[in-house]
Amino acid sequence: MAIRYGFRRLGAGDGDDDFDADELLALLADDYMESGDLDDAMDRLLREGFTTKDGERIEGLRELLERTREQRRALEQQADPEGELQRYRDWLDLIEHTENAALEDLLAEAAASGDERRQEVTEELVNQRKLQQDLMSDSLVERLGNFRNYDFVSSEAREEFEQLLGELERDIVSTYFEQSKEFFGRPDPEELARMRDMMDALSTMIEQDRAGEPLDPSFEQFMERFGEYFPGAESLEDVIAQMAERAAAAEAMFNSLSAEQQAELRGLFNDVMSNMELNFSMNRLVSNLRMATPDIDWQRANRLRGQNGGRFADAASVAQQLGELKDIEDFLGKANAAQALPEVDVEAIRRNLGDDAAKHVEKLQRALKGLKDRGYIDRDGQRTTLSAKGVRQIGQQALKDLFGQLRNSPTLGAHPTASVSRGGDREETSKPWEPGEALSLNLSKTLRNAVFRQGPGTPITLHPDDFEVEEYESTKRSATVFAIDLSLSMAMRGNLVPAKKMVLALTQLIRSKYPRDFVAVVGFGEIAAELKIEDIPALTIDYAYGTNLQHALAMARHLMRNERGERQVVVVTDGEPTAHLTASGEPFFSWPPVPETLQKTMAEVLRCTKAGITINTFALDIERSQFPFVEQIARVNGGRLFYTDVDELGTYVLDDFVRHRRAG
């Protein structure tokens, strides 16, 4: 994999050990060539995860999905709005107990004084207060109202009730305004008036925006007055999003309760908001937010199963986080995750699943973007396809892999490697060195590449990716047709993908190193057809029976009819001929093969031989005793015959091609 380096300013993502688009394409290649569907291959790769060439494990979407579900289950155990309602009930009971204890103390003091008039007045006061308590409703909301109108005897109980109201008011306000500045004690009238003005101004702006009218106040004026409520907001849309997400989280908290509990909690919120004179402004704002954000699910509910109470604002925060987790879970569970990946909210993943998960998603996003930016993929409606450049890149990678295998092979490594033809004139151009080429270095450009890669300073360390070699005009031309068996057995035996990789590698070699050569590809099953090289990665096999080598050889001979120089057909097959074309041009299939099929195929072999076309055959996974026909082809035509398994196909074809192309 060739990676070019240059100097630029640091930007987002710099310093990460990234894998690039070339590596991602290499990881996709085998699956894509197996299935023929790039979207499916991308989804499978992203879902299962993978390990980069540097040994880094990139979590798959399946792993992230399970982590999301675990986080959701853990969060559901943290929030308990019903427990918080009970806490306020218990708190009122404690306040009432404190008040009653003070009343009893008052009676005892009056009795101890011996003053009958004092005792009479005290008993009347105590009876009045206890009657008020007896008439209080069991409803939390009504009981709060009763205590607001209650004249406490106990200063401790009064202070405790004021503390309860202050905490409740702060809790309810922060349920909707998580980012609002903290109140000290109970919110004062001035602050409440300012909050009411903010809600009314925001509602007015939303209504004006919906009607297409100029904003008054303008967004800038609004933020100048109320910006501390909306940190980070840069537009009206940002403000609406912040408020709507929080308000929807509050709704989700309500919806998580039973109908009876929900009614009690809504009543509590309305009562407190009304007491602070915020209820009208809040209801107006929430109504406008609902209309402004139709994409938000305002009806969602969560399973909040905590057991320890907790502030309503905390429950809303949990509900908001659960909403984000639900969105992440929906994305991770999509069948087309690769297409949706560029739109996923990375910061939401960071907040909920941590930095590592976010970094993995960011790396995937950059790599997928790189596939498009580098021109490796195209979008055709709802379908992703490999571009011609992407096909060439897969071929180049396959070629490098084959040369690597060739160098490491104990049997093939002894063969001579390719060298640059010097018979022609030296061109005024150079190009990056490719594996298999002799080093006729353009020294100045090679050193320039090394400096760009490692930066200034000495010593300069050369890397193979730095090499630039001189280009020479080739003095000879050759013509090659790759004839690939597309019978059903090739797919069933797992031979098709290695055959396609071999073809892509060799066509890339011919096009880059021998640009004057002719190269074509013919696929043959029941019939033969010329294949565009750009279509080979996505090529799949139809469920049609037959190995029509006769038609394939006839088509190869026709394609090379006007070509000069050495001409050859490279046949890759895993079986003997079982089909031929009849006199009417219709395909005929038979297993076992009938004599007519073998005769017509051999007749085409003779035509190729008379035309000076060499047939080199690579027989896959076949014992010699089971496949004598390919040996007859070699004897009649004089071409070479290789019995090889699929793992060595590419290296055998490459080695044979390079050696004989050089010798020629």
Alpha helices, H only, 49-115: 61-76, 81-113
Longest dimension (CA), the chain: 140
State pLDDT tens for residues 73-112: 888 787 778 888 888 999 999 999 999 999 999 999 988 9
Confidence of residue 34 (pLDDT cuts 50, 70, 90): confident
* CATH numbers and ranges of domains, the chain: 21-75+325-386 (no CATH), 81-301 (no CATH), 478-663 (3.40.50.410)
What local confidence, expressed as pLDDT, does residue 307 receive?
Answer: 65
Look at 242-246, 441-445, 591-595, 601-605 and tell me which has the smallest mean pLDDT.
441-445
Return the axis-axis angle of helices 38-48 and 21-35, rounded to nearest 10°. Answer: 120
pLDDT at 429 over 60: no
Can you point out the beta strands (E) in 374-457?
377-380, 383-386, 426-432
What local confidence, expressed as pLDDT, does residue 164 receive?
Answer: 93
Strand 566-573 with 478-485, pairing: parallel
Alpha helices, H only, 533-645: 549-559, 595-610, 628-637
What local confidence, expressed as pLDDT, does residue 631 receive?
Answer: 84
Residue of 146 and 641 predicted with greater confidence: 146
What local confidence, expressed as pLDDT, does residue 205 receive?
Answer: 95
3-class SS of residue 344 = coil
| CA–CA distances in Å: residue 83 to residues 80, 86, 295 | 5, 5, 31
State pLDDT tens for residues 492-530: 777 788 888 888 878 888 887 788 889 899 989 889 999
pTM: 0.59
Q: H or E segment at 519?
A: strand 518-524
Q: Show the CA angle centred on residue 253, arms to residues 201 and 283, nearest 5°.
A: 25
Q: Report which residue type is found at 607.
A: R
What local confidence, expressed as pLDDT, does residue 604 receive?
Answer: 93
Residue of 561 and 467 predicted with greater confidence: 561
Sign of CA dihedral 80, 86, 90, 96: positive
Calpha distance 432→339 (Å, rounded): 33
What local confidence, expressed as pLDDT, does residue 437 receive?
Answer: 52
Confidence of residue 153 (pLDDT cuts 50, 70, 90): very high
Strand 426-432 with 50-51, pairing: unpaired
State pLDDT tens for residues 182-216: 544 456 788 889 889 999 999 999 999 999 999 99
Residue of 420 and 247 predicted with greater confidence: 247
Strand 566-573 with 613-620, pairing: parallel
CA 137 to chain centre: 55
| CA–CA distances in Å: residue 451 to residues 3, 40, 174, 442, 596 | 14, 41, 58, 15, 66
Do 413 and 651 form a contact (C-beta atoms < 8 A)?
Answer: no
State pLDDT tens for residues 303-319: 777 666 678 887 887 88
What local confidence, expressed as pLDDT, does residue 663 receive?
Answer: 54
Calpha distance 419→621 (Å, rounded): 32
Per-residue b or e along 638-663, where b marks 16 or more CB atoms closer than 10 Å to that residue's CB: ebbbbbbebebbbbbbbbbbbeebee
Question: What are the phi and psi torsion angles at 251 (to 5°)?
Answer: -60, -40
Calpha distance 252→303 (Å, rounded): 10
Q: What is the mean pLDDT of residues 31-42?
A: 80
Residue of 386 and 126 predicted with greater confidence: 126
In the DSSP assignment, the letter for residue 642 is: E
Residue given tokens 């409606």 in the structure block: 381
3-class SS of residue 360 = helix
pLDDT at 174 over 80: yes
Residue whose C-alpha is closest to residue 159's, from 200, 102, 87, 216: 102
CA 495 to chain centre: 31
Do 586 and 516 form a contact (C-beta atoms < 8 A)?
Answer: no
Calpha distance 5→8 (Å, rounded): 10
Alpha helices, H only, 312-380: 312-332, 337-340, 346-353, 355-373
Residue given tokens 């980012």 in the structure block: 179
Segment of 140-144, 324-328, 486-490 carrying the highest mean pLDDT: 140-144
What local confidence, expressed as pLDDT, does residue 2 receive?
Answer: 38
Q: Report which residue type is found at 499.
A: A
pLDDT at 258 over 90: no
pLDDT at 653 over 80: no
Query: What percentage of the chain exceeds 70 in pLDDT?
Result: 82
Do 591 and 643 form a contact (C-beta atoms < 8 A)?
Answer: no
Calpha distance 223→225 (Å, rounded): 5
403's CB contacts (< 8 A; 6+ apart) are 435, 436, 654
pLDDT at 399 over 50: yes
Q: What is the mean pLDDT of residues 334-345?
A: 75
What local confidence, expressed as pLDDT, does residue 199 receive?
Answer: 93
Confidence of residue 414 (pLDDT cuts 50, 70, 90): very low
